[in-house]
Amino acid sequence: MTVVYLHIGTDKTGTTAIQQALSQSARALREHGILYPRTGRVGHAHYLLSSALGFTSAPKRSTPTIRARIPALQQKLANEIRRSRAATVIISSEMFVNEQDPALARELLAPFDTRIIVYLRRHDKWWESAYRESVKRLPGPPWESSAESFIDFHQRRNSTRADYRHLISRWADQFGTAALIVRPFERQQNQPDIVADFLRAANQPELADSRLIQPPMANIALDNQTMALIDTYQRSRMPQRVRKRLITHAMDNPVGTTHAPTISPARRAQLIEDNRDDYEWIARTFLRRADGKLFLDPMPREDAAWASPGPLDTRIIAEHAMSALTARRITRRNLGRLGRGAYYRLRMARR
Helix (H) and strand (E) counts in the chain: 16, 5
Sign of CA dihedral 95, 100, 105, 106: positive
Arithmetic mean of pLDDT, 332-351? 48
Q: Return the H-helix or E-strand segment holding 274.
A: helix 265-274
Q: What is the pLDDT of residue 193?
A: 98
213 vs 86: CA distance, rounded Å: 17
For residue 251, the one-letter residue type is: M
Buried b (16+ CB within 10 A) or exposed e, 121-135: bbbbbbbbbbbbebb
Mean pLDDT of the chain: 91
For the cut 60, the answer to whether the pLDDT of residue 77 exceeds it is yes
For the cut 90, the answer to whether the pLDDT of residue 170 exceeds it is yes
Q: Is the peptide bond before 226 cis (omega within 30 degrees of 0)?
A: no
Q: What is the pLDDT of residue 221?
A: 85
Is the distance from CB of 86 to CB of 151 less than 8 angstroms?
no
The single-letter DSSP state of residue 178 is: G
208 vs 266: CA distance, rounded Å: 38
Instruction: Give the start-to-end residue ranges of the domains of the chain.
Output: 3-210, 224-258+313-349
End-to-end CA, the chain = 62
Q: What is the per-residue pLDDT across 138-153, written as a single tens digit (0 to 9) for each?
A: 999 999 999 999 999 9
Was domain 3-210 assigned CATH 2.40.10?
Answer: no
For the cut 80, the answer to whether the pLDDT of residue 174 exceeds it is yes
Sign of CA dihedral 217, 221, 227, 231: positive
80 vs 62: CA distance, rounded Å: 26
Confidence of residue 217 (pLDDT cuts 50, 70, 90): confident
228 vs 60: CA distance, rounded Å: 35
Q: What is the pLDDT of residue 304?
A: 65
Q: What is the pLDDT of residue 334?
A: 46
For the cut 50, the answer to whether the pLDDT of residue 173 exceeds it is yes
* Least confidently predicted of 62-76, 114-128, 182-196, 271-285: 62-76
Q: Return the H-helix or E-strand segment holding 151.
A: helix 147-157
For the cut 90, the answer to whether the pLDDT of residue 238 exceeds it is yes
